[in-house]
Amino acid sequence: MHYFDDFYSRLSWGQPEDVQRAAIEEASSIQNLWLFIQPMIVPNPKAVWENCAIILAQRTDSELEPYLDQIFEWLQDLNWPGAIIIHNRLLDMEEPMLKKQLARSQQQAQMENDDEWLFNLKYLQNRIKM
């Protein structure tokens, strides 16, 4: 079995909590954060999203910065597993970085006519500690 197939299976919400915790801890040594941004694994991608969000939330602002476009897409639906964890992590981000990405994401949401995403971005904007 491929390493990441096994790794994702251990991140799944169907695993015992101790197995999930061990996988989350193991993830701290993985530098490629793309692997944790809403991975589309089969058969059930959303089964790992909550734990992937936990992994991302533990990273520094500078580690997350190259991935912010994709991380902000997680806010397209706050019902998605991990979306609230991502939302709360973004609130702790350095203000200039957060505001810049928020403006870019709002522009993207407007171009896509994605009212739910715009609403969720506005909700984030209203909660930013300025």
Q: Please report, for residues 9, 19, 28, 106, 115, the alpha-carbon distance to residue 2 in angstroms, rounded to integers and kept in the order given.
A: 11, 18, 19, 38, 39
Specify the number of domains making up the chain. 1
What range defines the domain where residue 8 resides? 3-127
Give the model confidence (pLDDT) of 42-72 as tens digits. 788 899 999 999 999 999 999 999 999 999 9
pLDDT confidence bin for 129, thresholds 50/70/90 = low
- Alpha-carbon distance of 32 to 67, in angstroms, equals 10
In tens, the pLDDT along 68-107 reads: 999 999 999 999 999 999 999 999 999 999 999 999 999 9
What's the pLDDT score for residue 130?
A: 52
Distance between CA atoms of 67 and 105, rounded to whole angstroms? 12
Q: Which residue reads 């299976």 in tokens?
A: 9
Per-residue pLDDT for 18 more than 70? yes
pTM: predicted TM-score of the whole model, two decimal places:
0.93
